[in-house]
């Protein structure tokens, strides 16, 4: 069983230059009837699900075009939660680790000076918070797996249209 990652990624190889690839992607997106679910600027594109399908755990797909030595393109794609969810997650994660570190330092200072080391409760509370966030992350990825497959399929269809425009 694969371990869940905070932001799963994958790469796709395209046999054309990056700027040409992104221009073709933008052309396909502009001609598609549902282009509101996608954005593209420069060498980046983002694919979203419809608003009615969006849940708290629903990811979006960010794609960046990078140069390959042979002149082709490597599309680096990353699934990520929406920015407001990711910001809250990282804030909560930071608070949890701060509680672990500050509680450990403060508790050790209390213990070393012969006082009751109640500051060590910060280690326990922060550790439980960080562990809880990892569990929530894994659960969110399981709940969002269908959305991830749908976004990956949309990228594959988009790239098929880009290849068809090349010929």
pTM for this model (two decimals): 0.74
Q: What is the average per-residue pLDDT within 22-37?
A: 75
Q: What pLDDT score does 71 carry?
A: 84
Q: What pLDDT score does 144 carry?
A: 87
pLDDT tens-digit series, residues 84-119: 988 999 999 999 999 999 999 999 999 999 999 999
At 35, the pLDDT band (50, 70, 90 cuts) reads low
Q: What pLDDT score does 125 carry?
A: 96
Look at 25-29, 61-65, 128-132 and tell me which has the smallest mean pLDDT.
Answer: 25-29
Residue 3 has pLDDT above 70, yes or no: no
Nearest-angstrom CA–CA distance, 14 and 73: 5
Helix axes of 145-166 and 18-31: crossing angle, nearest 10 degrees:
110
Q: Tell me which of 2.60.40.10, 1.20.120.160, 3.30.310.80, 1.10.10.10 is the CATH number of domain 9-82+150-166.
A: 3.30.310.80
pLDDT tens-digit series, residues 113-165: 999 999 999 999 999 999 999 999 888 888 888 888 888 988 888 888 777 65
Q: What is the average per-residue pLDDT within 63-84?
A: 89
User: Above pLDDT 90, what percent of the chain?
Assistant: 32
Listing DSSP states for 15-78 in one string gives SS-HHHHHHHHHHHHHHSTTGGGEEEETTEEEE---GGG--TT-EEEEEEEEE-TTS-EEEEEE
Nearest-angstrom CA–CA distance, 42 and 87: 24
At 1, the pLDDT band (50, 70, 90 cuts) reads very low
Q: Residue ranges of the domains in the chain?
A: 9-82+150-166, 86-137
What is the DSSP pairing of strand 9-14 with strand 73-81? antiparallel
Q: What pLDDT score does 164 carry?
A: 60
């Amino acid at each position: 069983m694969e371990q869940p990652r905070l932001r799963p990624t994958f790469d796709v190889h395209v046999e054309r230059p990056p700027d040409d690839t992104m221009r073709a992607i933008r052309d396909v997106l502009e001609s598609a009837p549902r282009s509101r679910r996608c954005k593209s600027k420069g060498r980046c594109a983002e694919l979203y699900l419809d608003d009615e399908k969006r849940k708290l755990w629903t990811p979006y797909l960010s794609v960046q075009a990078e140069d390959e030595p042979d002149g082709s393109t490597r599309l680096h794609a990353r699934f990520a939660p929406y920015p407001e969810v990711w910001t809250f997650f990282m804030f909560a994660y930071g608070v949890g680790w701060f509680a672990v570190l500050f509680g450990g330092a403060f508790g050790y200072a209390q213990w070393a000076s012969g006082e009751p080391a109640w500051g060590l409760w910060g280690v326990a509370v922060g550790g439980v918070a960080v562990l809880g966030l990892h569990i929530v992350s894994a659960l969110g990825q399981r709940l969002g797996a269908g959305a991830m497959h749908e976004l990956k399929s949309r990228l594959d269809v988009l790239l098929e249209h880009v290849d068809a425009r090349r010929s």
